[in-house]
Structure formats: C-alpha cells, structure tokens
Structure 1
Amino acid sequence: MLKPIIEELGKARRTGPAPSIRWALASLSLSMLMPSLDTSIANVGLPTLAETFGASFQQVQWIVLAYLLAITTLIVSVGKLGDIVGRRRLLLTGIALFTLASLFCGIAPTLWLLIAARALQGLGAAMMMALTVAMVGETVPKERTGSAMGLLGTMSAIGTTLGPSLGGILIAWYGWETIFLVNLPLGIVNFLLAARFLPADRPDRKVARGRPDAVGTLLLALTLAAYALAMTMGHGSFGALNIGLLLAAALGAALFAFAETKVKSPLLRLSMFRNSSLSTSLAMSTLVTTVIMATLVVGPFYLSHALGFDAAHVGAIMSAGPLVSALTGIPAGRIVDRFGAHRMTVTGLIGMIIGLSLISALQGSFGIAGYIGPLVITTASYALFQASNNTTIMKDISSEQRGVISGMLSLSRNLGLISGASVMGAVFTLASGTANVTVAAPEAVASGMQITFAVGALVITATLAIALTSLVFAKRTVLSQEVS
C-alpha cells in the first residue's frame, strides 16, 4: 500500500536519486509509526502491569499519562530546538533516545522506574513527531506536500490501530516487557535509514545565532502540564484541583506571553499568530481533534451498554475508525495535491458534519451498520481534513520556522485529544442524565450518544464557518495584491 506513493514522491523529487528519497520517506514513515504505536500499545497492558507490580489502576494509568504529558509539554520546544541545532541531528537524537528508553521500559524492575522511562520515551517521541513533519519540506517538492502528509497520516493511523492488537498478542505470548522491547529492532532500522538517507542539515546563520529560550521553554512546559493534568485528573469528576490547575495554566500562559516579548530569541514569536492562515489552521486542528475524540470516548459505552456487544466485539468495531484513516490517508493526500488544500479542508469538514449527524440521527436504526457506516464517513473525512490542513500549515513556511511550527501543529492535535476526552466525556455524562455512565440504562446511554454527536456536528459546523471565512479572506488578499 505504501510502496506506490513512496515511489511517486521519490520520482517527483527534482534533486537527488529517487531511491534515496524513497528510503528517506521510509525513515520518516517509521518515525511517525513508532510514537503512534506506543500511544496505544501500552493501554492494553495496564491490567497485566497492575497485577505484576501490585499497583492500583490509578497508579498504572501514569504509564500512559507520563508518555502523553512528556509529548504535550515538550513538543513545541524540541521543534524550536531542531530549528536551532539542526532538524536531522535532533531527529536522530530522538530516534536513539526513544529506542534506548524502550529498552529501559522493558527491563524496569519497579513501576515508578517504568513510569520514568516512559516519560523519557515521551521526550524521544516528541522529537520524532515534531521533526518528522518538519523534514517533509526538505525531502519532497511543494507540489507533493499533500501526498507526503497523507503518507504520514496513514502511518500514524496504522500505529494507533495496530497497537492494541499487537500488544495483546505480545503480552499473551511473550510477556508485558515485549510491548516496549518491540521498538528496539524498529528503532535500530529507523536510525540507520535516517542517518544514511535523510538530507543533511543546511546551516542557517540567522537561526544558528539564536539560543534556546530557557525561561519560555519552562513556562510553556509548566503551562501545558497544568492544562493537561486539569483535563485528565479526577477520573470523571471536575473539582477544586482541576479548577486550580486551569487557573495555573491561565496564569502560566499570561507569563509566557509576557516573557516572550522580553527575550531576543523567543521560543515562539507572537507575531507569527498575526498570520491568519496559520492561526486559523491551528485552531481548526484543535477543534476537529476535540470532536473526533468522541468516537473513542463515547463509542465504547454506546456499543457495550446500548447495543449489548461484548468487549471483543467492541474492540473490533472501535478499530474501524483508525483502519479507515489508515486506508484513506494516502488517497486523501493525492486529492489535496490535485484539487488544493483550502478546498479539500472545506470538503473534509462537510463530510465530518454529515457523518456525525448520521451517527446521531441513525441511533437505534439499522443495527450496527447504522453506527459503522456514518463512522466510516466521519473518519475518512477527518483523514482528508488532516492532510489538507497540515499541507496548508507546512507548505509555504520559511525553513527556519519549520521545526517550531511543526511542533505547534502536533501540539494542537494533542490538546484537542486531551480536551476532547474531558469535554466530550462531560457532555456525554450530562446528556445521559447520570453521574455514573457505567450503570446507566441503555436508553440513557443511547440518548447521551445522540446528543454528544449532535454537539460534535455543531462544533464542526462552527469550524467550517471559520474555514470559509479564512478562505474568503485569503482570496480577497490575493485579489488586492494583484490589483496593487
């Protein structure tokens, strides 16, 4: 499935031999696959790990949380660091760190050492996720950016889809350690490919003069950590601790904005947000991933409590969404290259509105087909939106900003997923009319699902309005430039 697109991208490259470009794209694909795989593979091992270490479910949850927090808090900073020290160099460091941390995870003798190793693995994953997207601009020509983004989207979806099933097989056959040790051969192959075939860093004197913004990095990391913890802690409740963390995040954001105006080489130049296209695309990315999280949060409860499926069938049905994303990512990228990113962004959002509305409207009709059919429409449209929106953001930015903006793009998605788990989960609980959804009546769960996906459709409708406004503004800007 991946060979034709990699060959096409390689042939389209204007400089360098095509085989080298194909191997470079293979490395970038692995660099997107590995962090995505480890986002989902650990979840299936939590019951086994709780039993192995004699820990509570709340304690072993930190195995997942430490990884996600490290990525969320550091991804912008490592993107900026890549702009300063060289993106290829830092990507190689990230691959090596991720692989070594995977080894530490697999041999960890205690739960807290495993959690520490997972945080270190998250740092490596942040480097890989931020710099992989940034390296696209140095690997393929602009007119093939959409295809490359579609390829990376496919690899991300494959990793997410493969994680639970692969993890279950490895634990059953070889033990929990192997869900982490499986990264060792992948990491070694990836490092060798990246070292041999990725284009060398081009020295940029303007960027090289900059130094890492230590104060800004610390403030941003603390702000994002406070927000992420506010959204994930509480286990279904939102109390004083969550509110306090949100207030801390707001204060941190204000301090960060102030600090960035006082340093010579800031982590983020606030002036970049005056670019309406960039700001709009990042905001849309956050909103869309917030809504798409409803399929992962609400779906299992609806399938098990309202439709009566057992855990095995729920898992199989839930894999349909990531599988569709994996299958449609590459075609979506080709469509973006052919018809234009802005137009396909709008098309993707319209498709999502249709899919979400059908999930809500067809509840109780046509059995499981009334859920899976609209889910396919929703996730395929999401793949199209993601490829086109990523292309809009990364296609025309200057070389010295690719790392930090790529990090911001990944951050916008992570914040959307974190926010979606909390916000859409709260909407579902409220709409179900009960504080504990696990014991709610099937009718209440079905009603909650309908309302939640209807709210999701309204959020995407608002996102579509933002996209159309941005498109009209962009056309007026082009016309005014032509007249002048």
Structure 2
Amino acid sequence: MTTTSVNQDKPLPGKPGVAPTFRWAILTLSLSMLLPALSTSIVNVALPSMAEGFSASFQQVQWIVLAYLLAISILIVGVGRLGDIAGRRRLLLAGIAVFTAATFLSGVAPTLWLLIAARAAQGLGAASMMALSMAFVAETVPPSRIGRAMGLLGTMSAVGTALGPSLGGVLIAGFGWRAIFFVTAPLGLLTFVLARRYLPADGPTQKVGRLGFDYVGMLLLALTLGAYLLAVTLEHGVFGTLSLALLLAAVVGLGLFVLVERRATSPLVRLANFRVPVLSAGLAMSAVVSTVMMTTLVVGPFHLSRALGVQTALIGLVMSAGPVVAALTGVPAGRMVDRLGAQRVVFVGLIGMVVGSISMSLVPVSFGIAGYVTSLVVITASYALFQTANNTTVMTGIRADQRGVISGMLNLSRNLGLLTGASVMGAVFAFASGATDITTAASADVATGTRWAFAVAAALITVALGVAVGSRNRSSSDRHD
C-alpha cells in the first residue's frame, strides 16, 4: 500500500523518547476500525447456534446484535467529545481495553443475558475505537495523504464486514460459537499494545470536571437516540403503537437536547457547527447514503432466493461481492481524493450510486445473478468513493478540540442510516411486493418489491446530490462574502 511508504522514518510528535513510524500508527488505527466491524458481522452468523445453546428464541438472541449496535450509536458522540477534552490517546486505550475485556467475557458468558450485557460493554469500547481512530488521522498523517488514510480506514471496516461471515462460519463449525470471541480478544490485545507504543501522546488537557463535560446533554442524547433506534428496530418497520410512542419520545428528547445545548457552557455538540455547510451536508448525506446501502443487505437475500432461485449456500457468496468491492476500492478512492479533491469525488460517488440503484431497479430478472452482481458492484464501489471523500471533507480543517466529537457524529450518522434503512427500506420492499409474508412470496412479487425499493433508493441518492450541490454553492457564497 502506498500509505506504508510515506514518512516511514518520521517520528510522530508528542511521544518523548520514542520514534514511532507512520506505518505502525496507521496499522494501529486500521485495526481499531477493523475489529468493531468484524465484531458486528461475525456474530450474525452465530445467532442460530446461540439460540440453540441458550434454548432461546430468535427474537431474544437478536439482542446480542442489537445491544452492541445500540451501545455504539448511543455513546459514540459522547466518547468522541470526551476524547477531545480528556485526551484521545488515553481514551482510545481505555476503549480498546474495555472492548478486549468485554470480548473475552462474551466468550465465557454462562447465560444469554450476561452475554447481552457483555456485548453492550463491547459496544462502548467499539464506540471509542471508531470515533477516535478517525480523529487521530489529522494528527498522524500529512495533509496531502489524508484521503488515502481515510480510504484505508474505510477498507479495513469493509474487510471486517466481509471477513466476519466466512471466518465465523469456519470457527463455529470447528469449535462452536464461543470461538468467535476467543479469536477476536487477542487481536484487541495486540491493538492495545500497538496503540500504547505508536500513537502520539496527548498534549496538555484540562480536567473533565473543571472544563465541564456536558453530562446532561449526553444523557438526553443517549435517551433520544435509544428511543429512535428502538422505534425503527423493535417492530421491523411496521410502526405500531409502541414504535410511534418511541418516535414521539425521540422528537421530544431532541427538542430538549437542543434547548440544553444552547445554554450549556461547554456543550456536547456545538449547534453552531451545523451552520457550516460542509459539516451539515456531510452528515446528512452520510445518513441518506447509508440508508441506501442497507437496502442491498435487506433486499438482496430475498431477491436472490425468491426471484432468482439461488441456492442458500450461494447467497452468502453472492452477497459478499459488495463488501469485497468496497474493500478493494477504499485505497484507490483515497488516491482519487488526494489527486482530484474530495468534493469532486463526492459527486462521482453519488452519481455512481444513482446509476447503480436505477440499474438494480430496471435490470430484468432474466439477467440472473450476473445482472444483480453488476448493479451491486456499481453501488458498492461508488459508496466507497463517496464515503472516503465525504469523511475526508468533514474531518479536514476542523478545530483540533472538535475532532473527536465530529468523528463521533459522522459515525453516528452512518449507523442511524443503516438502522433506518433496515427498517424503512425493508418496509418499502415488503409493501411494494404486496405479499403478506415475504418469505413465501411469489418470484414476480419479490421482483416487483426489489424494483420499487431501489427506485426509492435512487430518489434518496438524488436528494443527497441536491444536498451536495447546495453545500458547494453555500460554501462558494461564504468565500465570496
């Protein structure tokens, strides 16, 4: 990789007596992005074995995944802000330690509910790793290489997502489901050792209590996000009485959060940041694009099995084309960003996603797996371009004391998009198919559902393109004023 050849002998600042290399610092940050993604996808394939082992229902074991995702989404902004205040290196080390310990505890958990609790703790550690790894890029990478570094981090996240199902399947078949945690824990320990040795030391920081960490804002944000995420996951897009009540609670919580942040001396989130076109547009586009990406994961298995008649054993292989393409595109996307500029690559990525979504909506069923995979490759490659460029745009030029919280917000927007997409786009797919039970629907009905779901996806990406154009125009206007 080109990133390993840059500044290999240049010591990173702030680490007295130690001369860590650029290569090792990037490796450390890459592992910090890979492990949270791996810990999401590797558990999904273990759910049937866990249900059997604990004599639990599928709805109960789903909380093993949900607890992890909820913890990340609820806490990621708070830990990012805390890193800005208390020191990113020490909080990243704490996060890796919590992640590693919780991973081991997940492997030895004697009951389902202890496993769920350990997974929630693992999500806390993962939130720190995801938020602070991106925040560290500006401190460890020359400005001319930030695009490549962001591309590499995106690649490692995609590799973790792609590797999880296959690695998990092998481990479960040979050693049982607990092996997936016992393999991940040593990687966490390795990451901790590398981070302690090679990441730059924190500069002078004020004590959290003296600076006034916004605990009230953090609590309100956590409750608001928790209510929203439960609303879009508990009833799987049906939006019954419980989901509507939770959505209402989320709206009320958001209003209270805004009031508190306006009055806070040291707010968790500076609301004035949302008046910056690049940031507000970047967060909005990230959420929309992630919603569309989840469409491929929600609709894909049903389309392949019901509309195309693909055997169950091959569905996972076909679906893995997406993460593999994203992994292969990440670093080249970073090079494009460094050469062409992030803003141009954002437009290229969004246009590519529109083309891929329209293709997925219009391609005849008679084209079979080849037609589906071709459209999927266009969507995921374009997504990798967009994600690398958008992350670079948002994280470049922000104040050093805001990098952690902005990185947390960027990761949160992606997670919200993924969870919303799983619920809303799944509901669009089911409604458009006209079937009462999508698992037994006729192939023609499933194909109709797929067409409409990706037509809506294309419309959403077109909205994101409009946001990108508006952001560019507002930025240009601000420069001329």
Aligned residue in 1 for 2:224: 223
Deviation, structure 1 residue 235: 4.0
User: What is the distance in 1 between the residues matched to 2:433 and 2:188?
Assistant: 45
The 5 A counterparts of 1:33-44 are 33-44=34-45
CA contact (8 A) 2:81 2:405 kept: yes
What residue is the counterpart of 1:301 in the other structure?
302
Counterpart amino acid of residue 319 in structure 2: M
Tell me whether 137-146 or 399-408 shows the greater mean CA deviation: 137-146
- Residue by residue over 1:382-438, the C-alpha shift from the partner in whole angstroms, topping out at 9 and shown as x without a partner, is 000000000000011010000000000000000000100011111101110123211
Equivalent residue number for residue 390 of structure 1: 391
Deviation at 1:180, TM superposition (A): 1.0
Q: CA 1:279–1:23 in 2, change beyond 3 Å: closer, same or farther?
A: same
1:47 corresponds in structure 2 to: 48
**Equivalent residues in 2 for 1:67-106 (5 A)?**
67-106=68-107
Q: Say whether the 8 Å CA contact 1:12–1:141 is kept in structure 2.
A: no
The TM-score normalised by the length of structure 2 is 0.96
User: Matches of 1:200 and 1:253 in 2, distance apart?
Assistant: 36
What amino acid sits opposite 1:436 in the alignment?
A: D
Q: Give me the whole-angstrom Cα distance separating, in 2, the residues matched to 1:182 and 1:212.
A: 36
Match of 2:67 in 1: 66
2:476 counterpart letter in structure 1: K
Tell me, in whole angstroms, the C-alpha distance in 2 between the residues paired with 1:242 and 1:435: 20
CA contact (8 A) 1:6 1:22 kept: yes
Correspondent of 1:8 among 5, 21, 26: 5
Farther off after superposition, 467-476 or 79-88: 467-476
SS at match of 1:366: helix
> Counterpart of 1:363?
364
**Separation of aligned partners in 2, 1:138 and 1:360:** 43
Is the 1:84–1:211 Cα contact (8 Å) retained in structure 2?
no
Pairwise CA distance, 1:262? 2.2
Aligned to 2:148: 147
**In 2, are the aligned partners of 1:13 and 1:141 still within 8 Å (CA)?**
no
Check 1:414–1:208 CA distance in 2 against 1; reply closer, same or farther (3 A cut). same
Quote the Cα distance in structure 2 between the aligned partners of 1:425 and 1:176. Answer: 28
1:84–1:208: 8 Å Cα contact kept in structure 2? no
Please list, as runs of the form range in 1=range in 2, the aligned pairs for 1:179-194 lying within 5 A after superposition: 179-194=180-195
User: In 2 relative to 1, CA 370–58 (structure 1 residues): closer, same or farther, beyond 3 Å?
Assistant: same
Residue number in structure 2 paired with 1:318: 319
Please list, as runs of the form range in 1=range in 2, the aligned pairs for 1:157-176 lying within 5 A after superposition: 157-176=158-177
Q: 1:330: which partner in 2?
A: 331
Shift of 1:291: 0.7
| Alpha-carbon offset, residue 295 of structure 1 | 0.2
Shift of 1:468: 1.3
The answer as to whether partners of 2:87 and 2:205 remain within 8 angstroms in 1 is no
Any conservation in 1 of the 2:88–2:404 contact (CA below 8 Å)? yes
Shift in Å at residue 188 of structure 1?
A: 1.4
* Deviation, structure 1 residue 374: 1.3
In structure 1, C-alpha distance between the alignment counterparts of 2:354 and 2:49, rounded to whole Å: 39
TM-score of the two chains, using structure 1 as the length reference:
0.96
Q: Determine the structure 1 residue equivalent to 2:348.
A: 347
Cα deviations across residues 213-260 of structure 1 (Å, max 9, x unaligned)?
Answer: 111111100100000000000145321000000000001101111111
Work out whether residues 353 and 460 of structure 1, in 8 Å CA contact, stay in contact via their aligned partners in 2: yes
The alignment's C-alpha RMSD in Å is 1.6
Residue 459 of structure 2: aligned partner? 458
Matched residue type, 1:78:
V
- Look up the SS of the partner of 2:368 in the other structure: coil
- d(CA) in 2 for partners of 1:424, 1:154: 25
Match of 1:477 in 2: 478
- CA apart distance, 1:473: 2.3
Q: 1:142 Cα shift?
A: 1.6
DSSP-derived class of the 1:309 partner = coil
Shift of 1:331: 0.4
Give yes or no for contact 1:281–1:389 (8 Å, CA) kept in 2: yes
In 2, Cα distance between equivalents of 1:269 and 1:72: 19
1:42-96 deviations in whole A, cap 9, x for unaligned? 1101000001001011000000000000001000000000011100100000111
| Conservation of the 8 A alpha-carbon contact between 2:150 and 2:391 | yes
State the distance in 2 between where 1:367 and 1:234 align: 32
Residues 231 and 418 in structure 1, CA contact (< 8 A), matched pair in contact too: yes
Match of residue 57 from structure 1: 58
1: CA distance, partners of 2:154 / 2:364: 29
CA distance in structure 2 between the partners assigned to 1:273 and 1:164 by the alignment: 38
Give 1:101 shift: 0.3
The range that moved more, 393-402 or 355-364, is 355-364
Residue 240 of structure 1 corresponds to which residue in structure 2?
Answer: 241
**Shift in Å, 1:184:** 1.8
Deviation at 1:271, TM superposition (A): 1.2
- Deviation at 1:439? 1.6
Q: Which amino acid aligns with 1:179?
A: I
Aligned equivalents of 1:445 and 1:227: distance in 2?
Answer: 29
Q: How many angstroms does 1:152 deviate by? A: 0.3
Structure 2 counterpart of 1:156? 157
1:129-140 aligned at under 5 Å gives the runs 129-140=130-141
CA-CA distance at 1:11 after TM superposition: 4.6
| Counterpart AA for 2:130 | M
Q: Which runs of 5+ in 1 are unaligned?
A: none
Size of the aligned set, in residue pairs, is 477
Range that drifts further, 128-137 or 428-437: 428-437
Secondary structure of the structure 2 residue equivalent to 1:66? helix
Cα contact 2:85–2:206 (8 A) shared by 1? no
1:422 has 2:423 as partner? yes
Quick one: which amino acid aligns to residue 166 of structure 2? S
Matches within 5 A, 1:114-125: 114-125=115-126
CA deviation vs aligned residue, 1:112-137 (integer Å, no higher than 9, x gap): 00000000000000000000000111
Q: Which amino acid in the other structure matches residue 296 of structure 1?
A: L
Is the Cα contact below 8 Å between 1:207 and 1:400 reproduced in 2?
Answer: no
Equivalent residue of 1:161, what SS? Answer: helix
> 5+ unaligned residues in a row in structure 2: which ranges?
none
Decide which moves more: 256-265 or 21-30: 256-265
Counterpart of 1:107 in structure 2 is: 108
Q: Shift of residue 207 of structure 1?
A: 8.5
